[in-house]
C-alpha cells in the first residue's frame, strides 16, 4: 500500500524533496545573516571599508548642494517633495495672536493649523501672481521685473521651472547660453540634461547632478551618508557638516568596484530581496557573488552527494513499486486463468442442462418457461464472462493471431451482423458501397462489445453508422446516453468500470488492445456517447 501511494504521488514526493532542499538553503542563509555557520562569523564593517576607500582614492569632485541651492529657498527644484514652499508671515501675531470666530484666543495646535493654512494660501497666491506676471510678458509685452527669475516660487504649478520655460522661448537674454549658465541652479534636476545638451554647456558639477535620479536625490535631501547611483558613489562630507550639511564627495563607481573585486563583500543598491548585512543609505552591504560561488564550489561535492542519495532513494522506491505492481498483475492474471479453466467445465454442463430444460419447457406453465429462459440467459452471460477473461489473458500476453479476409461489401456485412446481434440496431450504410479487409473475428468482437455496452450503459436507440472519408472507412457505434467518463484513456484501463456495470471492467481494455494490434484507431465522444473505429483504406 505504501509503495502504491509512492508511485501514484511521485510528483508530489519530488516536490516535497525540492521544497525541503530550498528550506535548508533558506535556513542556511538566515543563519548566515545572523552570523551563522555558513560564511565567516563576522564581516568587515561598511564604515571601515568606506573610510579606507576614501583614504586610498581621490574624489572626482565635490557637490555642495547647500551652496548651490541654499539661497532663496531654491531647494524646491531638487525634488517634487520640496515643490510646495512654506511662506511665513513676518508678523506671527497676526496668525496666532488673534481670535477665532467664537472670540477665543488662537493658541497651540489651533494656531499652528491656522498658520499652516495661511502659508499654503499665501504660497498659492504668490504662484498665481508670478504666473500672471509671466503671461503679461508673453502676451502683452510687459517687461519682467528685475528679480523675477531669482525670487520664489521657482516652479510653476504645471511642473516645470520658470527658468526652463524662459529658456525655450525665442527671447533675449533667456535664449542665450551665458544667461542659462548663470541660472543653472534654478532649473529642475530632471531638466538639466536637456538644457546642458541644447546649449552645449560643459559644467562638471551640473553634469553630475543631471545624472542623479529622483529617488537618489531624495536620499541626498534627507542627508543620507552614502548614496549609490548607477555611475557614482556619493559620500557625505562630514567635515563640512556645520557649514554645508548637504556637501558630498563624488567617486566613480568603477573605482568602488575595483576595490571590492577581490573582497568577500560588495556594495549594491538596496532591495527587499537582497541579503543585507548592513543597510547604509540607499545601498546594501552584502556578500559578494564571488564569495558565494566559492562556497558553492567548496560544498558542491557534498551537495551532489546529498542530491544523489535522495535521487537513488526515490529511484529505488520507484523500481520496487514497479516490481510490486508487476507481481500483483501476475497474481491477478494467474487467478483469472485458474477461474477461467475451472469454470469452463461446470458452465458447459450448465448450458447443456439449460438446453434440455428449454426442450422440455413446452409442457410447463408460462412463469416456469420464463424462469427457464432467465436461467439460460444467466448461463450464457456466465459463459461470456469466462470467454472475455480468457481473451484478456491471451491479449495481455500478446498471443493474438490476425487472419485478414477480403470482404466485397461492407454494407451487407454490417447489415447481417447487426440483425444477428440485435434487430433493434438502426444501421446507416454507406451511400456508395465499398469493400474492406479485416480480421472478421476480432472486428465482430470489437463491435459486439461496443454495442452491448451501448445497450447496458447507454440509452436507446443505438445507431451503427458507416462513413468513408477520403477513402478511409469508419464505423461509429452511438447511443443517446451520457458517459460517466470524460476520456477514452480512463475508461480503457483494466478493471475500470462504470457504477452500473456488473462485469469485470475488461471489455474496453481488450477492445483497445485488439485495435492497437490491428492498427486501428478508436475515438470517443461523451454526449451522446459514441465510439468511432477507423479501419483503414476501403477497397
Q: Give the three-class secondary structure for 3.
A: helix
Asked if 319 and 379 sit in the same domain, the reply is: yes
Report the C-alpha gap between 338 and 413 in whole angstroms: 37
Determine the angle formed by the axes of helices 440-457 and 410-421, rounding to 10 degrees.
Answer: 50
DSSP class of residue 408? S
Asked if 452 and 314 sit in the same domain, the reply is: no
What is the bridge-based pairing of β-strands 226-228 and 232-236?
Answer: antiparallel
Asked if 63 and 9 sit in the same domain, the reply is: no
Residue found by looking up cell 499652528 in the block: 112
Asked if 354 and 455 sit in the same domain, the reply is: no
Q: Which domain range does residue 364 map to? A: 301-395
Report the C-alpha gap between 117 and 109 in whole angstroms: 12
Asked if 414 and 308 sit in the same domain, the reply is: no
CB 235 within 8 A of CB 283: no
Q: What is the pTM of this model?
A: 0.45
* Peptide bond connecting 192 to the previous residue in cis, omega within 30 degrees of 0: no
Per the domain annotation, does 101 fall within a domain? no
Asked if 222 and 250 sit in the same domain, the reply is: yes
437 Cβ contact list (under 8 Å, min separation 6):
404, 405, 406, 407, 536, 539
Residue 2's Cβ-side half-sphere holds a number of Cα atoms within 13 Å equal to 2
pLDDT at 393: 61
What is the full per-residue pLDDT of the chain (539 aa) written as tens digits? 334 444 455 556 656 666 766 665 565 555 444 434 444 445 567 888 888 899 999 999 999 998 888 766 788 888 766 654 443 333 334 334 443 433 344 444 444 433 433 444 445 677 788 888 888 888 888 888 888 888 888 888 778 899 998 998 888 899 899 999 999 999 999 999 999 999 999 999 999 999 999 889 988 888 888 999 988 999 998 887 667 788 999 999 999 988 888 777 888 888 877 778 888 888 888 877 766 666 666 666 677 778 778 888 888 888 888 888 777 776 666 666 666 656 666 777 777 777 777 767 666 777 777 777 777 777 776 776 666 666 656 555 555 666 788 888 888 988 888 888 888 888 988 888 888 888 887 788 888 888 888 888 888 888 999 988 888 888 899 988 888 787 777 777 766 666 666 565 667 777 777 777 777 888 888 778 888 888 877 66
Asked if 410 and 506 sit in the same domain, the reply is: yes
C-alpha cell at 140: 502683452
For Cα atoms 325, 329, 334, give the angle at the middle one, nearest 5 degrees.
Answer: 150
Per the domain annotation, does 96 fall within a domain? no
pLDDT at 97: 44
pLDDT at 401: 63
Per the domain annotation, does 111 fall within a domain? no
Per the domain annotation, does 526 fall within a domain? yes
Asked if 366 and 416 sit in the same domain, the reply is: no
For Cα atoms 186, 189, 190, give the angle at the middle one, nearest 5 degrees.
Answer: 125
pLDDT at 82: 66
Report the C-alpha gap between 389 and 380 in whole angstroms: 14
pLDDT at 232: 92
pLDDT at 152: 85
- Where among 371, 395, 419 does a domain terminate? 395
Number of structural domains (the chain) is 4
Report the C-alpha gap between 61 and 94 in whole angstroms: 47
Asked if 405 and 354 sit in the same domain, the reply is: no
pLDDT at 57: 92
Per the domain annotation, does 527 fall within a domain? yes
For Cα atoms 275, 280, 286, give the angle at the middle one, nearest 5 degrees.
Answer: 30
What is the domain-level CATH number for residue 483?
3.30.565.10
Per the domain annotation, does 43 fall within a domain? no
pLDDT at 13: 60
412 Cβ contact list (under 8 Å, min separation 6):
433
Asked if 250 and 194 sit in the same domain, the reply is: yes
pLDDT at 206: 94
C-alpha cell at 354: 439449460
Per the domain annotation, does 100 fall within a domain? no
Q: Give the three-class secondary structure for 117.
A: helix
* Peptide bond connecting 85 to the previous residue in cis, omega within 30 degrees of 0: no
Per the domain annotation, does 531 fall within a domain? yes
451 Cβ contact list (under 8 Å, min separation 6):
421, 422, 425, 462, 464, 477
Q: Each residue of 238-267: b (16+ CB within 10 Å) or e?
A: eebeeebebbbbbbeeebbeebbeeeebbb
Asked if 461 and 349 sit in the same domain, the reply is: no
Asked if 389 and 439 sit in the same domain, the reply is: no
Closest CA to 292 of 268, 264, 271: 264
Q: Each residue of 72-107: b (16+ CB within 10 Å) or e?
A: ebbbbbbbeebbebebeeeeeeebbeeeeeeeeebe
- Where among 348, 364, 395 does a domain terminate? 395
Amino acid at each position: 500500500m505504501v509503495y502504491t501511494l509512492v508511485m501514484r504521488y511521485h510528483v508530489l514526493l519530488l516536490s516535497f524533496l525540492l521544497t525541503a532542499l530550498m528550506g535548508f538553503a533558506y535556513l542556511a542563509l538566515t543563519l548566515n545573516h545572523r552570523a551563522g555557520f555558513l560564511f565567516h562569523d563576522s564581516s568587515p564593517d561598511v564604515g571601515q571599508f568606506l573610510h579606507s576607500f576614501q583614504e586610498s582614492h581621490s574624489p572626482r569632485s565635490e557637490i555642495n548642494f547647500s551652496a548651490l541651492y541654499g539661497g532663496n529657498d531654491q531647494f524646491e527644484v531638487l525634488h517634487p517633495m520640496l515643490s510646495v514652499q512654506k511662506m511665513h508671515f513676518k508678523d506671527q501675531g497676526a496668525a496666532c495672536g488673534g481670535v477665532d470666530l467664537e472670540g477665543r484666543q488662537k493658541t497651540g495646535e489651533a494656531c499652528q493649523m491656522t498658520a499652516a493654512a495661511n502659508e499654503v494660501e499665501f504660497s498659492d497666491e504668490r504662484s498665481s501672481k508670478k504666473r500672471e506676471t509671466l503671461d503679461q510678458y508673453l502676451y502683452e509685452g510687459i517687461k519682467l521685473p528685475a528679480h523675477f527669475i531669482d525670487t520664489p516660487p521657482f516652479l510653476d504649478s504645471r511642473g516645470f521651472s520658470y527658468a526652463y520655460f524662459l529658456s525655450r522661448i525665442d527671447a533675449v537674454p533667456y535664449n542665450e547660453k551665458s544667461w542659462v549658465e548663470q541660472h543653472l541652479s534654478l532649473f529642475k534636476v530632471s531638466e538639466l540634461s536637456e538644457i546642458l545638451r541644447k546649449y552645449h554647456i560643459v559644467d562638471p558639477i551640473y553634469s553630475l547632478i543631471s545624472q542623479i535620479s529622483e529617488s537618489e536625490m531624495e536620499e541626498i535631501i534627507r542627508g543620507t551618508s552614502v548614496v549609490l547611483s548607477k555611475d557614482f558613489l556619493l559620500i557625505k562630507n562630514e567635515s563640512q557638516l556645520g557649514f554645508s550639511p548637504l556637501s558630498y564627495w563624488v567617486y566613480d563607481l568603477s573605482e568602488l568596484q575595483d576595490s571590492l573585486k577581490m573582497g568577500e563583500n560588495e556594495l549594491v543598491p538596496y532591495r527587499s530581496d537582497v541579503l543585507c548585512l548592513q543597510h547604509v543609505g540607499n545601498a546594501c552591504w552584502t556578500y559578494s557573488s564571488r564569495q558565494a560561488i566559492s562556497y558553492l564550489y567548496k560544498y558542491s561535492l557534498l551537495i551532489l552527494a546529498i542530491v544523489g542519495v535522495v535521487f537513488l532513494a526515490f529511484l529505488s522506491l520507484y523500481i520496487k513499486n514497479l516490481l510490486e505492481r508487476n507481481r500483483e498483475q501476475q497474481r491477478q492474471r494467474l487467478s483469472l486463468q485458474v477461474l477461467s479453466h475451472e469454470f469452463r467445465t461446470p458452465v458447459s454442463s450448465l448450458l447443456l442442462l439449460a438446453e434440455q430444460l428449454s426442450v422440455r419447457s413446452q409442457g410447463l406453465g408460462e412463469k416456469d418457461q420464463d424462469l427457464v429462459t432467465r436461467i439460460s440467459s444467466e448461463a450464457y452471460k456466465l459463459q461470456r464472462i469466462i470467454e472475455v477473461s480468457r481473451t484478456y489473458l491471451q491479449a495481455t500476453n500478446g498471443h493474438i493471431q490476425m487472419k485478414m479476409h477480403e470482404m466485397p461489401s461492407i454494407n451487407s456485412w454490417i447489415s447481417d451482423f447487426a440483425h444477428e446481434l440485435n434487430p433493434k440496431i438502426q444501421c446507416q450504410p454507406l451511400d456508395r458501397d465499398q469493400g474492406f479487409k479485416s480480421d472478421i473475428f476480432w472486428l465482430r468482437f470489437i463491435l459486439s462489445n461496443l454495442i452491448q455496452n451501448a445497450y447496458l450503459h447507454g440509452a436507446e436507440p443505438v445507431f451503427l453508422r458507416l462513413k468513408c472519408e477520403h477513402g478511409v472507412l469508419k464505423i461509429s457505434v452511438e447511443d443517446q446516453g451520457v458517459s460517466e467518463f470524460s476520456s477514452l484513456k480512463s475508461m480503457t484501463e483494466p478493471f475500470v468500470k462504470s457504477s452500473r456495470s456488473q462485469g469485470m471492467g475488461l471489455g474496453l481494455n481488450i477492445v483497445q488492445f485488439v485495435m492497437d494490434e490491428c492498427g486501428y484507431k478508436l475515438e470517443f465522444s461523451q454526449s451522446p456517447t459514441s465510439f468511432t473505429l477507423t479501419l483503414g483504406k476501403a477497397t
